Amino acid sequence: MTMETILAVAGALAFLIYVLLTLTGWVRMRPGTWLLPAALAVLFFLGSLAAVWKESPLGFWTEHTRNLWGTQIWFDLLLAAALAWTLLAAPARKHRMALPVWLLLVLVSGSIGLLAMAARILYLRQHQALDGDSPVSSAEPGGTDEGANAAPKGR
């Protein structure tokens, strides 16, 4: 098995474990939650540097234009990034983060920028709660209670 295959399988397993943990309610917003997306952003950045070093800065484009699967993956990534941006923009605006700067980071780095942005929002939320400012609504992504894990309420 190649190193690339091992990394792909490890990533899929990590994703599956994380999803299962969120379904069970084990993953919740706790103090320091921001450290996970921050650490993932750093690790993925380092892995991306290795890919850029070995394959070139525009190596991703070759992969996404090679065949229909590559193009499908490209659109999948764009849709996921657009969805993540949509979910993160409102809380980022609420915390007065410079959205054009964050958008530029997301455009040049993809998930790395989104992970860093999510980490910053969670960090600001945690410190806002510690400072006694008005709490952030749990209905927003990454709220301070079990909002994401709770069952939807009827009207």
Residue 145 lies in a domain: no
Residue 80 lies in a domain: yes
Got the DSSP string for 118-152?
HHHHHHHHHHHHHTTPPPPPTTSTT-SSSTTTSPP
pLDDT level of residue 25 (50, 70, 90 thresholds): confident
Mean pLDDT score, 94-121 = 96
Question: CA 2 to CA 25: how far, in whole Å?
Answer: 35
Backbone torsions φ then ψ of 62, nearest 5 degrees: -60, -45
Residue type, 139: A
Residue 113 lies in a domain: yes
Residue 47 lies in a domain: yes
pLDDT tens digits, one per residue of 123-132: 999 988 777 6
Output the pTM of the full model.
0.77
Residue 144 lies in a domain: no
**Domain count across the chain:** 1
Structural domain of residue 102, as residue ranges? 31-130
Q: Comparing 17 with 146, which gets the higher pLDDT?
A: 17
Burial of residue 74 (CB within 10 Å: 0-12, 13-18, 19+) is middle
Residue 138 lies in a domain: no
